[in-house]
Amino acid sequence: MLEKIIGVKYWVLIGTALLLSACANTGAVKNTPTEPVAAQPKQEPVVAEPAEPVVAEPMMEDTGTQASLDAAASDSLVHFAYDRYDLSADARAKLKEQADWLQAHSDVRVTVEGHCDERGTREYNLALGDRRANSVKNYLVALGVDPARIRTISYGKERPLVTGTGEAVWAQNRRGYTRVN
C-alpha cells in the first residue's frame, strides 16, 4: 500500500513539473537579422492610416493643435539614416520651423516619438528610437524651447508608418515625430 501511495505522489510530482514548465515564460527574445535577406520579394509600401483623422478647422486664430504644427513646420516628421540618430540638414530645417512654432505657442507641450525600421532586435531598436527622440528634443532645446515642455518616448520598430520591406519602406519608418499633447 505504501509503495502505491509513493508511486502516485511520484506521478503527481512529474505531472505538476510538466504543467509548470509548459506555462513558464522563458523571456527569450527573437534575434532578427540586422541586414535584409537578399531573396525577399519586393512588396508595395502600404501607408498606415493616421490614428486620428485630421479635420480642417475654419480660419480662426492658431489654436496650438497638431494640424497647426504640421502646417507651420511643413511636417512633424524628421527622418534618419540607417542605424543613425544624428540630424540631417533637412531635419534641422524642419526642427527650426517646429521650434519657431513652439515658441509662438508657449502653452503647448509635445511628445517626441523615436521610431526605427523593422531590422534589428526589439531591444536595440528601442534604444535607437530613444536616441533619435532625444536628438530631436536636444535640438529643439538648443533652439530655445523649454525642455520641460518636451517629453520623449521610443517605440522602436513597434509602430511602423509604412508596412512592407525594402529600403524605401524602411527609410520612411526611421523617424522622429513631434506630437502635440
| CATH number for position 100 | 3.30.1330.60
Which carries the bigger pLDDT value, residue 47 or residue 107? Answer: 107
| Kind plus residue range of the DSSP H or E element containing 70 | helix 66-72
Report if residue 17 sits inside a domain. no
- Classify residue 179 as exposed, middle or buried by CB count within 10 Å of its CB (0-12, 13-18, 19+): middle
Confidence check: pLDDT of 53 > 90: no
Mean pLDDT of all residues in 91-97: 95
How many CB atoms are closer than 10 A to CB 114? Answer: 28
Mean pLDDT of all residues in 13-29: 53
Mean pLDDT of all residues in 33-48: 53
Integer CA distances (angstroms), 82 to 77, 85, 128, 135, in order? 16, 9, 10, 15
Report if residue 90 sits inside a domain. yes
Report if residue 3 sits inside a domain. no
Domain count, the chain: 1
Stated pTM of the model? 0.65
Report if residue 130 sits inside a domain. yes
d(CA 44, CA 169): 9
What domain range includes position 149?
A: 73-176
Mean pLDDT of all residues in 153-159: 96
Which carries the bigger pLDDT value, residue 13 or residue 130? Answer: 130
Report if residue 139 sits inside a domain. yes
Confidence check: pLDDT of 169 > 90: yes
Report if residue 106 sits inside a domain. yes
Mean pLDDT, all residues of the chain: 81
Confidence check: pLDDT of 10 > 70: no
Q: Which band of pLDDT confidence, cut at 50, 70 and 90, is reported for residue 131? A: very high
For position 73, what pLDDT does the model report? Answer: 83
